[in-house]
Structure 1
Amino acid sequence: MVPVRPENAYQARLLRVLRDGPRSRVELCDAVGLSRSKLTAEVDRLVELGLVESAGPAASRGGRRSSLLRVAGTVRFAGLVVGPDRLTAAVTDGELNVLAELHEPTDVRLGPEPVVARAVELVGKLRADLGLTHLNGIGVGLPGPVAFPQGSPVAPGALPGWHGFPVRDTLGAELECPTLVDNDANVMALGEQHAGIGRAFDDFLYVKLGTAIGCGLVLRGAPHRGATSGAGDIAHLGLADDGPGCACGEAGCLEAYCGDSGLVGAALDAARSGRSPALAERLAGSGTLTMADVARAAAAGDPAVQAVARDAARRLGRVLVGLVSFVNPAIVIIGGAPDGLGHALLAEIRAVVYRRSAPLTTGTMPIVLSDLGERAAVVGAARLISEQVFASD
């Protein structure tokens, strides 16, 4: 089944407004700038196409009550997020509310073919569980640089062996629906724009922490990817020539200090040196440390681990000074921080950015933690493909 698309720019604009929730015809006229007769013609055609339906009567404003309209209940999008160690798949309605979601451990080092094949199976299971005959589209987030026009990763450090693999075309052929692929920081920024703190802002930065670090930019209400899809690729900005080794082969990268592996490495040093007796005991018992161990130690008040977190946050803060001075966003949103570490990192980041930035740039700019958590990724992936589907050719 070929997914139906709007036939003109007016219909596309109406669908994007309705993606944010039901509206009355009066509200749609105001939002889209159409006359009542023109709106009626375009809405009637969207109903015929199966993209819009009635949602009951609107609140009375005097006189005859208007009817509410919404995206049709048959519209379904999928969001797929590939992490270094986990696959997440979800199906949403036309307003991007998550209807069903699956998580599964994975090992991206196996290569793209088996991981993508398993992703197809997960989406297929969701479709079967929900009784769906088709999807209107699927959006995908990958943890690394992505050539957006081609839908394929480019030298992704977190995805060894994936360089140039046609993720978009492979998934699109298997699932028989429109498919778009972007890096996960951009996808999470779109999730924040749709359902998170970013809803209130046209210009913001979304900084993604975790195994792979990235930055999504939303400028003038749209994602900014740059000339070759490389905007926001901050993971390997060099902070020190003699710093810790990075997965990219260089030393002193931002990710080597502030990514999960960098934080765990610094915590291992604290354990082995005796500066953190608690982590030393944990290391002796298990033979290794995880990010969860580090977060728990920080939350418990371990001074050595808290010092590690503050050092990483200061380095990230200095990078953000440059970013906010150059871009001048209305807000900075930070996601992906482990439980137990987020507020400690945030406090140090704020201290550095506000102290070292010009008042004109940061005087009214909040720096906050995401309140969507992992949900930002799948919602953002669905938002990504909805932008294409809810657009006229």
Structure 2
Amino acid sequence: MTPRPRPDNAAQSSILLTLRDDGPTSRAELGDRLQRTRARLAAELDRLAELGLVRDGGPAASRGGRRSTLVELDPELRFAGVDIGATSVTIEVTDASLEPVAAVEEAIDIRRGPEAVLDRVEDLLAKMRVGGHHNRLAGIGLGVPGPVSFRDGVPVSPPIMPGWDRYPLREELGGRHGCPVVVDNDVNIMVVGERRGGVARSVDDLLFVKVGTGIGCGIVVGGQVYRGVDGCAGDIGHIQVDPHGPMCACGNTGCLEAMFGGAALARDALAAARSDTSPALAERLRTHGTVTAADVGSGAIEGDPVCIGLIRDGGRRLGGVLASLVSFFNPSMIVIGGGLAGLGHLLLAEVRSVIYRRSLPLATRNLPVVLSELGPRAGVAGAVALASELAFGPVAR
């Protein structure tokens, strides 16, 4: 497949990113914002039009004198964001301004391995193409629930992803679609999405905590995602919170994830249902044959004391880890997202209580701890943002 053209230089890249974020803009305004002479801007726009990335959008509003011409991104440009979780995959296709065109979510089992999961992703993207939502993708962003070498585009020893270690995700997807591909940890794409279009808009120093099957933390420092030297910064799910706790998927004992991830909460809920200490969970077990983390949330809403206790216990453990991070990092915001964020304000209140009680007053007096505004869209929103930044970046020479 012939790759879609990319800009030649940083000047062209800045034009594309400005149009992505601000929409159709007059040539005069582009020149002012980017501090380009009229001749230089015209030359760069001519080249971008030749590449099929921008086009004229008609006359701009008059600023006095001769009217300038609007410039807009090619309306046929499309990006795809793919958020692969432990039990589901979400795909969103957007236009060049990152407005959603189509989306699909489907249950998957990540333990089936990369070939099976990617084949299903390919099937879903093909259905979206047949449906007229995209013809040729300009870029793909992919998030997976495990450590990722961002430089190499491969998962590295992911505890809950058997068979995925060092699988060449970036090369595989790029080869299938003939477009640039960016691969990152799922919580990193979530923090990008939330900062771009959620409650953390333009916040430059924040923590995004994903609480789902696994637990991770996306870190933004000075407006940039901090991934660490090898790409595994923020892996807070494997901080030990109880040396005598249960075995974790990583091989250690008492990790936060083993105490309060989605699988851990379902495990404790099942034990409560079988022992009949929780009437709400026992009823769900009799009715459905199993219980889930979501059932704990439902039971808590109904006032079941065991369900309320499970959420509070988990919130205290999570809050204790976050209190240490607040003392270390001093963020300006903490956002809680992921599937277990659906446990809502009971969980949030417990996390806040521990953070505010255990961290220094100076670090918490202006610290909001809030739920994600984008919810399940945070991952795909961040994935397409990263894909567009890669596709709109200049080709390496």
TM-score (norm 2): 0.92
| 2:285 and 2:291 in contact (8 A); partners too | yes
| 1:299 and 1:341 in contact (8 A); partners too | no
Cα deviation for residue 351 of structure 1 reads 1.3
Q: What are the Cα deviations for residues 70-117 of structure 1, in whole angstroms up to 9, with x where unaligned?
A: 322122111112122222222111111111122222222222111112
Q: Which amino acid aligns with 1:258?
A: F
Which of the numbers 251, 254, 257 marks the counterpart of 1:255? 257
| 1:185 and 1:215 in contact (8 A); partners too | yes
Q: Which amino acid aligns with 1:126?
A: M
Cα deviation for residue 201 of structure 1 reads 1.1
Separation (CA, whole Å) in 2 of partners of 1:206 and 1:57: 42
Cα deviation for residue 50 of structure 1 reads 1.8
Q: Which amino acid aligns with 1:254?
A: L
User: Is the alpha carbon distance of 1:348 and 1:36 closer, same or farther for their aligned partners in structure 2, counting shifts above 3 Å?
Assistant: farther
Q: Which residue of 2 aligns with 1:287?
A: 289
Cα deviation for residue 198 of structure 1 reads 2.3
Separation (CA, whole Å) in 2 of partners of 1:362 and 1:62: 50
Separation (CA, whole Å) in 1 of partners of 2:363 and 2:67: 47
Separation (CA, whole Å) in 2 of partners of 1:339 and 1:216: 15
Q: Which amino acid aligns with 1:3?
A: R
Q: Which residue of 2 aligns with 1:5?
A: 6
Tell me how many residue pairs correspond in the alignment: 393
User: Is the alpha carbon distance of 1:65 and 1:318 closer, same or farther for their aligned partners in structure 2, counting shifts above 3 Å?
Assistant: farther
Cα deviation for residue 185 of structure 1 reads 0.4
Cα deviation for residue 372 of structure 1 reads 0.7
Q: Which residue of 2 aligns with 1:203?
A: 205
Identity of aligned residues (%): 51
Q: Which residue of 1 aligns with 2:142?
A: 140
Q: Larger deviation: 265-274 or 120-129? A: 265-274
| 1:90 and 1:126 in contact (8 A); partners too | no
Q: Which residue of 1 aligns with 2:100?
A: 98
Cα deviation for residue 58 of structure 1 reads 4.3
Separation (CA, whole Å) in 2 of partners of 1:93 and 1:65: 28
| 2:248 and 2:254 in contact (8 A); partners too | yes
Cα deviation for residue 329 of structure 1 reads 2.0
User: Is the alpha carbon distance of 1:347 and 1:56 closer, same or farther for their aligned partners in structure 2, counting shifts above 3 Å?
Assistant: farther
| 1:21 and 1:70 in contact (8 A); partners too | no
Q: Which residue of 2 aligns with 1:168?
A: 170
Separation (CA, whole Å) in 2 of partners of 1:306 and 1:160: 33
| 2:94 and 2:101 in contact (8 A); partners too | yes
Q: What are the Cα deviations for residues 265-305 of structure 1, in whole angstroms up to 9, with x where unaligned?
A: 22233334443212122223433211221121112221221
Q: Which residue of 1 aligns with 2:18?
A: 17
Q: Which residue of 2 aligns with 1:246?
A: 248
The SS at the match of 2:143 is strand
| 1:257 and 1:263 in contact (8 A); partners too | yes
Q: Larger deviation: 159-168 or 339-348? A: 339-348
- After superposition, where does 1:322-337 map in structure 2 within 5 Å? 322-337=324-339
Cα deviation for residue 188 of structure 1 reads 0.9
RMSD between superposed Cα atoms in Å: 2.0
Q: Larger deviation: 266-275 or 113-122? A: 266-275
Q: Which residue of 2 aligns with 1:371?
A: 373
Mapped pair 1:311 → 2:290: no
User: Is the alpha carbon distance of 1:36 and 1:352 closer, same or farther for their aligned partners in structure 2, counting shifts above 3 Å?
Assistant: farther
Q: Which amino acid aligns with 2:278?
A: S
Separation (CA, whole Å) in 2 of partners of 1:24 and 1:327: 42
Mapped pair 1:361 → 2:358: no
User: Is the alpha carbon distance of 1:292 and 1:76 closer, same or farther for their aligned partners in structure 2, counting shifts above 3 Å?
Assistant: same
Separation (CA, whole Å) in 2 of partners of 1:348 and 1:273: 26
Cα deviation for residue 145 of structure 1 reads 0.8
Q: Which amino acid aligns with 2:4?
A: P
Cα deviation for residue 364 of structure 1 reads 1.8
| 2:196 and 2:202 in contact (8 A); partners too | no
User: Is the alpha carbon distance of 1:77 and 1:300 closer, same or farther for their aligned partners in structure 2, counting shifts above 3 Å?
Assistant: same
| 1:238 and 1:254 in contact (8 A); partners too | yes
Q: Larger deviation: 282-291 or 13-22? A: 282-291
Instruction: For structure 2, list consecutive stretches of 5 or more residues without a partner in the other structure.
Output: none
Q: Larger deviation: 225-234 or 277-286? A: 277-286
The SS at the match of 1:104 is strand
User: Is the alpha carbon distance of 1:57 and 1:199 closer, same or farther for their aligned partners in structure 2, counting shifts above 3 Å?
Assistant: farther
Cα deviation for residue 30 of structure 1 reads 4.2
Cα deviation for residue 337 of structure 1 reads 4.1
